[in-house]
Structure 1
């Protein structure tokens, strides 16, 4: 009777949704990542936070003294530093998420063979994907919280709505991390990772980070508005001054779809690579 009961329990477990992909043990992946970060990647994490702060100090204060005020979301007149600060926060969330989900993942996948070893255990590809992406989100959360505190200290936070920039930054990081990990699964050499930088740099320069989108010809505006970073920049700018509209919902939905596509892509690729 005991053997029959155990077999029934095992059969029931196998019938649960996503049983072959998800063992409900994401915690093991997260704990392993936190230990590795503490021992070897702490300096890299700190540098990722300092970079946007330096941009804010040099561009926002230095160049801002010459520019004065600019028109923000909803026609609000704000200082140039307050204009670029949400954009730099978006860039920080993107950079942190993509670093964790591309370079780190590439090394773990192709050299350390970490994911193969994980999937030899009871872990499923969805456990691995969620664990790695959570680590990228944690980094994005820390960056967003620290940068928002810097903004408040500089007097650039004028409404309580600005606190929503922190969870919004996590959503942005989630979108980039999920897509980044899926794309990395197709990369075979370190040189191919340069394509990630090749795509990130134009987005950083042209996604209305330092000046309004209206400075471009209309066809170029359409291209920029299709890029994910522009949606993140506009979303955080609106939250920073509490100016909302239907486009706020559009920006959020853009990242929700991005997350869904990235998670499906990443899970399928891990399964195809390591569970064939």
Structure 2
């Protein structure tokens, strides 16, 4: 069994554990949908149109919807690779048992991240259907929206898991909220990047969610440009870095 892709059994364990809790999959897209209705449509009645950073003029709701799609992917990734992962690592000792088998820390990290992608992808798919029915999908490029959501989820899942390995108590999750909430509000989510002060724009460009929003906005609105490839490469780099860091930390915590 050594060298075999044992991450699939880590993934299967999560699937079996959640088979009676499928209704939890409905929770992750609720918050973005509420934001879409309250801000995208409610505030959109006053703002009406907005000009994107690429010069497109669209309705405010159509501008906000892609950002909420990116947020759905982020929510699904963060839910499983932070809170749930921390419980299994520090309290349930789930991974101690797994590492008594031929499974390696790499298998644990890959299996848990893939499960978070299933959850985040489900959130994103449901939200995408809502946006499609409401008429906020304006381009055939949107067929790539779900794969893009999986890329966004992979970046947040891997980096979130890596960060969680350094946490020692539930209080430490305040740091997660301290990062995620401002990122959600200021990643060009509700307003174009151009309205931010120039000094703040550089900070926004470092945020992973900003790049996720840029990709989804470009795909749903048909505003496809080379900058989207840069954003995709940025997210892919974060996913790879987080996966390496998380598997290394799991090894340090449980095998040394």
Normalising by structure 1, we get a TM-score of 0.89
* Matched ranges for 1:1-276 at <5 A: 23-40=4-21, 42-72=22-52, 74-276=54-256
Tell me the SS of whatever aligns to 1:211: coil
1:161–1:240 CA contact under 8 A, matched in 2? yes
Counterpart Cα distance in 2 of 1:270 and 1:156: 42
* Structure 1 residue 212: Cα displacement: 1.3
Counterpart Cα distance in 2 of 1:81 and 1:207: 16
Counterpart Cα distance in 2 of 1:262 and 1:256: 10
Counterpart Cα distance in 1 of 2:132 and 2:236: 28
Tell me the SS of whatever aligns to 1:75: coil
1:125–1:270 CA contact under 8 A, matched in 2? yes
Tell me the SS of whatever aligns to 2:58: strand
Counterpart Cα distance in 2 of 1:236 and 1:148: 11
Q: C-alpha offsets along residues 209-259 of structure 1, whole Å, 9 cap, x if unaligned?
A: 111122221111111111111111111111112222221111011011101
1:73–1:238 CA contact under 8 A, matched in 2? no
Count of aligned positions: 256
Q: C-alpha offsets along residues 177-222 of structure 1, whole Å, 9 cap, x if unaligned?
A: 0111111111000000110011001101111111112222111111
Counterpart Cα distance in 2 of 1:214 and 1:243: 16
Counterpart Cα distance in 2 of 1:146 and 1:43: 13
What's the C-alpha RMSD, in Å, of the aligned pairs?
Answer: 1.4
Q: Which runs of 5+ in 1 are unaligned?
A: 1-12, 14-18
* Structure 1 residue 54: Cα displacement: 1.4
Tell me the SS of whatever aligns to 2:92: coil
* Structure 1 residue 71: Cα displacement: 1.4
Moved more, 196-205 or 73-82: 73-82
Counterpart Cα distance in 1 of 2:90 and 2:201: 38
